[in-house]
Chain A
Amino acid sequence: MKRTVLDYALKIRLPLTLFVVAVSVILTFYFSRAERDSVGYNPEQPIKFSHKLHAGQMAIDCQYCHIGVAKDRHAILPSVNICMNCHTVSRKDRPEIIKLTQFYTTGKPIPWKRIHKVPEYAYFNHSVHINKGIDCASCHGDVKQMDLVSQVKPFTMTACLDCHRNSQAQLPYLKTVRNGPENCWACHR
């Protein structure tokens, strides 16, 4: 039987093309996972604030600035007046602090770039997690070592459920922690 071009196309060309497409889709899906989940996202901020300096070297407690985290859904970014508690006196001559002071005196809020985000239809509550003794670093990574904050873990529903289902394994430093709720209305309503 004579082999036609069609045979070649159907038997070799097509499967090969499909294979290459499938492999590249799977590989792209797999390798871009972190990228798509925003892991490693570290945008430039309007003021070069360093967590490494403040929270790491100087060991200021997270809650000195993020005042809502233990009593509120939101951790709350500090308002400029909290920065000015120290910076009315300290390091007034540095260019970033001059920028900060300008924000403060003109009454303009600082447009910080958002790094961590759960979708609007998930009603995440910081205070519940903090009051259970979960360390900030368990989700946000070791911010104390970051000059420029970047996202280190994915903020997907899978990531939430990983911990809610295996709390003991995920949070070994909490001896008595029980699994978190898994029902829909725990987060969505």
Chain B
Amino acid sequence: MMSDFQKSSNKLWKSLKDYNEDPEVLKAKTNEFLEGVTDDFDSSKLSGLSRRKFLALLSASAALTATACTNYRDKGEIIPYNKKPEDVMPGIANYYASTCNGCSQSCGILVKTREGRPIKIDGNPDHPTSKGKICAKGQASILNLYDPERLTDPLVLRKKTDWKSVDSDIISALNNSQSSGKEIAIVTGEITSPTTKKVLDDFIAKYPNTKIYSYSLINDQQRRDAWMDSYGSDEYPAIKWNDSDVILALDADFLGNEGSYIENMRKHALRRETNGKIDFNRLYVAEGRMSVTGMLADYRFRISPDTQYEFVMALINELSSHGSSIVLDSNAKSKFGKYSLAKFESLIGKDNLNHLINDLNKNRGKSIVYAGDTFPKEVHVAVNLLNEVLGNTSLYDYTNSFKSLVKHSSAEEISQLVDSMNKGKVGTVIHFDSNPVFTLPDDFGYASALKKVTLVVSLSETENESSAAGNYSLPINNQLESWGDAYVRGGVYSLQQPVIAPIFDSRQKEAILLTWIAGNSSAFNEDIYHNCLMNSFNTDVYSKANTFADAKSFWNSALNDGVVNITEKVLSVKFNIAAFNNLNDLTSSKDFTIHLHNNYFIGDGKFANNGWLQEIPHPVSRVTWDNYAAVSPSTAKNLNVDNSDLLHIKVGNRNLTLPAFVQPGLADKLISIELGYGRTVIGEVGKEVGFNAVTLMSKNVQPSPFIFSDASVSKAGGKHELVSTQEQHALDDTFVKDFHRIRRIIQEGTVLKYIKEPNFLHEEKEKLFSITNEVKYTGNKWAMAIDLNKCTNCQVCVASCNVENNIAVVGKEQVSKGRVMQWIRLDRYYSGTPDEPIASNQPMLCQHCDNAPCENVCPVNATNHSPDGLNQMVYNRCVGTRYCSNNCPYKVRRFNFFNYRDDFADSYYENDLTALVNNPEVTVRSRGVMEKCSFCIQRIMEARSDAIRDNRPLKGSDVVTACQQACPTEAITFGDANDPTSPVAKLRDHNLSYHVLEELNVKPNVTYIAKLRNTHSEEIL
């Protein structure tokens, strides 16, 4: 172990192979391209065009060209509007505030449209909780609007039909169900809109046999149940993360994908500010899997989810002995008295445990313990008590509490529905934008019961597993074509407005129900739901708002802002100790534990057909286009599996075979799997990507539906190749590790060290000299600074860059060859040991070096330098030698080995519809040219043009790059380095600032702010 430690202490490793100095990896690091990247083309896969045919085509096209040339001066036509809408200017973007429907958080969004088509989604800065930021799903969801496989027309038994006949058929069927006393079941996901709820209520009023079932795969029901028991209300508070000095997260990925994580990240980052006084919080994470939050932890303990209950109880026992803010009766005391921390001392180390206890003890009232959504109710209740003991309830924020409009259906309710379906008591099933066949565990028997229902109607944007099992598939509007509202957080009522007319013959999902409620197919009109929404707004919001504005103006201003702040009574609650006393004690697992949890980018499978999201590398493992069974290195050794080897998992009578991935830092004897993958009925992109872990779930699993004890796991034999971007672009640090000055790509320190020696990073700095004359930059000089203290590795910047800069999707096979096209990537390094790794993240993009090495080697001057400090890339000049990429020390240049829009899945993304997603201000690159980050030159030029129009000098703050705008923690700063007052210039002079590979003297213009870890030591390792 000691030798391991020494080996690792002076180098960083990107994967286990790397750590063990696998010769292949070492070799790969010295090469620019992965093995296979530059392979010859496989002739059998090339076009079948024969030489003869090619010549024939050539002459034909020459003849055509000659004909075309007879009018070679013709430049086509310019067709202006007939009657120009007042607010649309060709070439100038319009922005509309709306609400995102991607998940149940309902963040406020700002949609950018050009000439009437949406091209970019960003956060709405006026939204009180998300504050101008949205997640990667929200960013990339624009592609779903232009998904070539959306339903275009209403279908009956897969055949095109028209709405009028659909409406009258269904209305008569509904009346039949009603008169014959059969149930009408509406199965929906989580309802976030109060007006949708009203429509559902109206539906029940019209057809009283209707029952509503609300079920979503990814939910917070366990937490809500615990709050119901502990506090008598299933409404739970937001956490004031920015006021928490100590955070203990128990398998809670609150900075990664749980709850309102974008908001959490922002608040957490407020306590990672290195400008001015250092006032860091301290983040402890106790988890089994390796999550994003775990990677950011100051202290990370490997505790399997099945032992967390004992851990919490033992903590209560220990901490209540030092005093308690709540009166503990003898029942409670005897309940937690059984548990002791002794068991965990060996697991997490005595020192670490003492630090945790001391920190929680000293920071009573300013610390928070937070359990993950997948944990059973019992753990949540115990955590609630622990927070009560510590007096941490002052950090609960009920003004923005999490509301629930329609209760999540319990397993019993759904079992009853399936039972009624099987007995023929259900006349109609309506899938209201939901996909229960995919998201419900198999042992409900929902799919087979559906066959016994005569009328199954699915309201959906695309065909899915549930619609394929029914008779009617009705296309509904995308969120950008819809009206709507959302009320999920206390005090926040947000509105959704359409920014484009429906592209296909689809309808608003509520409007379809309203037509059926009216009982007459001619009742439908375009405004039916719009009017309903306005009425509901007037009664629920306007009438209660204390305003002098008339209803119409108030509505218009609310639409303009996208959100209305409403004043309402804040819940006041008291902990019910009986809830704790009545808990069933949970025991730990004897065999393997399986932990199913949310994925990072594709939701409950809803975004599986979105190539951009499938291709964003997993924040921890860097795997794309797949999910897998993560196992710890030592468990992998015991099971004798390596990456991509198939594992067979058996829980009770439920089985799943999927590839293993050896994840450093995972708890032993734990399998962690992401949900949402393995869709079968979906478009070309998402079909059979990954493995469906819902098959492991069961209606009977207690206490949590996501954690199973006593599973058996074995090697299945066979392989499923996992494709990871992890070992690609390995930064070259092996060569220089023996140099007197270690080439530090990641530079880090601890808070204690920094307070003691603020200049510790620059002590051994050498003066670098240049052999060429330095170019003087007068005027603007663009530069970026990235604060690694704030970066959470969320990949929102990647998603935002993809959309802004028309980045192509290349597909799994091309990713495996190292041809991923993303302009910004997040590098993840491990240090320490494979069992207890310390992760470091670093966004890497074109550094726009002053002495750019790529420029010197380009034979055609296709890449060169601009007077404002940008490393320019000119596609028209590029002849594709790839010398520049070869000479780039940061490996940030991307080559178009194919025309990827044409190459990916047989021109999947090359069609008239999907082309509409492209940003018209950025060239769509074709085969054979190099591309890379441009610092969003289109935004710089737009700001410059505005400055000239206003007759003022261009300032750095006028330009906001796409990654910067999207970054939830504002870790990215962009601006003018020549303006000494600009934030970026100040960060360049920060004590913690450094450049990657500084000793090369290429003078990069991206400055990194070294990460400080808030541990009790001055050393990191």
Residues of A within 8 A of B (CB): 38, 41, 43, 67-68, 70-74, 76-82, 103-104, 107-115, 117, 120-121, 123, 125, 127-128, 131-132, 181, 183-186, 188-189
Check: B557 CB closer than 8 A to any chain A CB: no
Given A74-B91, A185-B866, CB of A109 within 8 Å of CB of B948: no
Does B921 contact A128, Cβ atoms closer than 8 Å? no
Given A38-B73, A115-B75, A121-B923, CB of A181 within 8 Å of CB of B91: no
Which of B81, B865, B938 is the one whose CB lies under 8 Å from A189? B938
A sample of 28 cross-chain residue pairs with beta-carbon separation below 8 angstroms, ordered by A number, consists of A41-B73, A71-B89, A71-B92, A72-B89, A72-B90, A73-B945, A80-B80, A80-B83, A108-B82, A109-B81, A110-B80, A113-B77, A114-B76, A117-B75, A127-B948, A131-B949, A183-B864, A183-B866, A183-B868, A184-B866, A184-B872, A185-B866, A185-B937, A186-B941, A188-B923, A189-B923, A189-B934, A189-B937
Does B91 contact A110, Cβ atoms closer than 8 Å? no
Does A183 contact B951, Cβ atoms closer than 8 Å? no
Check: B58 CB closer than 8 A to any chain A CB: no
Bound CA span A43–B864, Å: 40
Residues of B within 8 A of A77 (CB): 78, 80
Which of A79, A181, A185, A189 is the one whose CB lies under 8 Å from B80? A79
Does A128 contact B948, Cβ atoms closer than 8 Å? yes
Check: B922 CB closer than 8 A to any chain A CB: yes
Does A183 contact B76, Cβ atoms closer than 8 Å? no
Q: Shortest beta-carbon distance, B89 to chain A, in Å?
A: 6
Residues of A within 8 A of B73 (CB): 38, 41
Q: Shortest beta-carbon distance, B603 to chain A, in Å?
A: 33
Does B77 contact A128, Cβ atoms closer than 8 Å? no
What residue of chain B has the Cβ atom nearest to residue A130's Cβ? B949
What residue of chain B has the Cβ atom nearest to residue A43's Cβ? B74
Check: B876 CB closer than 8 A to any chain A CB: yes
Does A121 contact B875, Cβ atoms closer than 8 Å? yes
What residue of chain B has the Cβ atom nearest to residue A115's Cβ? B75
Check: B711 CB closer than 8 A to any chain A CB: no
Check: B79 CB closer than 8 A to any chain A CB: yes
Given A121-B923, A123-B941, CB of A72 within 8 Å of CB of B875: no
Does B78 contact A112, Cβ atoms closer than 8 Å? yes
Bound CA span A115–B868, Å: 34
Which of A76, A78, A181 is the one whose CB lies under 8 Å from B89? A76
Q: Shortest beta-carbon distance, B927 to chain A, in Å?
A: 16
Does A114 contact B876, Cβ atoms closer than 8 Å? no
Does A114 contact B80, Cβ atoms closer than 8 Å? no
Bound CA span A184–B149, Å: 39
Residues of A within 8 A of B949 (CB): 70-71, 127-128, 131
Does B922 contact A189, Cβ atoms closer than 8 Å? yes
Bound CA span A113–B81, Å: 15
Residues of B within 8 A of A115 (CB): 75
Does A68 contact B91, Cβ atoms closer than 8 Å? yes
Does B82 contact A189, Cβ atoms closer than 8 Å? no
Given A71-B949, A123-B941, A181-B867, CB of A103 within 8 Å of CB of B90: no
Which of B77, B92, B865, B934 is the one whose CB lies under 8 Å from A112? B77
Does B82 contact A103, Cβ atoms closer than 8 Å? yes
Q: Shortest beta-carbon distance, A176 to chain B, in Å?
A: 12
Check: B630 CB closer than 8 A to any chain A CB: no
Q: Shortest beta-carbon distance, B407 to chain A, in Å?
A: 51
Bound CA span A131–B950, Å: 9
Residues of B within 8 A of A111 (CB): 77, 79
- Which of B91, B867, B872, B874: most chain A Cβ within 10 A? B91
Residues of B within 8 A of A79 (CB): 80-84
Residues of A within 8 A of B92 (CB): 68, 71-72
Does A109 contact B89, Cβ atoms closer than 8 Å? no
Q: Shortest beta-carbon distance, B667 to chain A, in Å?
A: 48
Residues of B within 8 A of A43 (CB): 74
Interface residues of B in 882-926 (CB under 8 A from A): 921-923
Does A185 contact B84, Cβ atoms closer than 8 Å? no
Does B91 contact A109, Cβ atoms closer than 8 Å? no
Does B78 contact A107, Cβ atoms closer than 8 Å? no
Given contact pairs A104-B82, A108-B82, A114-B76, enumerate 15 new A-B contacts (beta carbons under 8 Å).
A67-B89, A68-B90, A71-B92, A73-B91, A76-B91, A77-B80, A111-B77, A112-B80, A113-B75, A114-B77, A183-B866, A184-B872, A185-B866, A186-B866, A189-B922
Bound CA span A82–B868, Å: 41
Does A76 contact B90, Cβ atoms closer than 8 Å? yes
Which of B74, B872, B921, B951 is the one whose CB lies under 8 Å from A185? B872
Check: B870 CB closer than 8 A to any chain A CB: yes
Residues of B within 8 A of A76 (CB): 80, 89-91
Residues of A within 8 A of B81 (CB): 79-81, 109
Q: Shortest beta-carbon distance, B91 to chain A, in Å?
A: 4
Q: Shortest beta-carbon distance, A174 to chain B, in Å?
A: 14
Bound CA span A183–B77, Å: 30
Bound CA span A71–B84, Å: 16
Q: Shortest beta-carbon distance, B807 to chain A, in Å?
A: 14
Bound CA span A109–B78, Å: 10
What residue of chain B has the Cβ atom nearest to residue A113's Cβ? B77
Bound CA span A184–B77, Å: 28
Check: B944 CB closer than 8 A to any chain A CB: yes
- Which of A71, A82, A181, A185: most chain B Cβ within 10 A? A185
Q: Shortest beta-carbon distance, B780 to chain A, in Å?
A: 11
Bound CA span A189–B111, Å: 23
What residue of chain A has the Cβ atom nearest to residue B940's Cβ? A185
Q: Shortest beta-carbon distance, B928 to chain A, in Å?
A: 15
Bound CA span A104–B83, Å: 8
Residues of B within 8 A of A112 (CB): 77-80
Q: Shortest beta-carbon distance, A143 to chain B, in Å?
A: 15
Q: Shortest beta-carbon distance, A116 to chain B, in Å?
A: 8
- The 10 A-B pairs of least Cβ separation, nearest first, read A79-B84, A183-B866, A79-B81, A114-B75, A77-B80, A73-B91, A74-B91, A111-B77, A117-B75, A72-B91
Residues of B within 8 A of A107 (CB): 82-83
Residues of B within 8 A of A113 (CB): 74-75, 77-78
Does B74 contact A109, Cβ atoms closer than 8 Å? no
Bound CA span A77–B79, Å: 8
Does B876 contact A188, Cβ atoms closer than 8 Å? yes
Interface residues of B in 943-994 (CB under 8 A from A): 944-945, 948-949, 951
Residues of A within 8 A of B91 (CB): 68, 72-74, 76
Which of A78, A183, A185 is the one whose CB lies under 8 Å from B934? A185
Residues of A within 8 A of B90 (CB): 68, 72, 74, 76
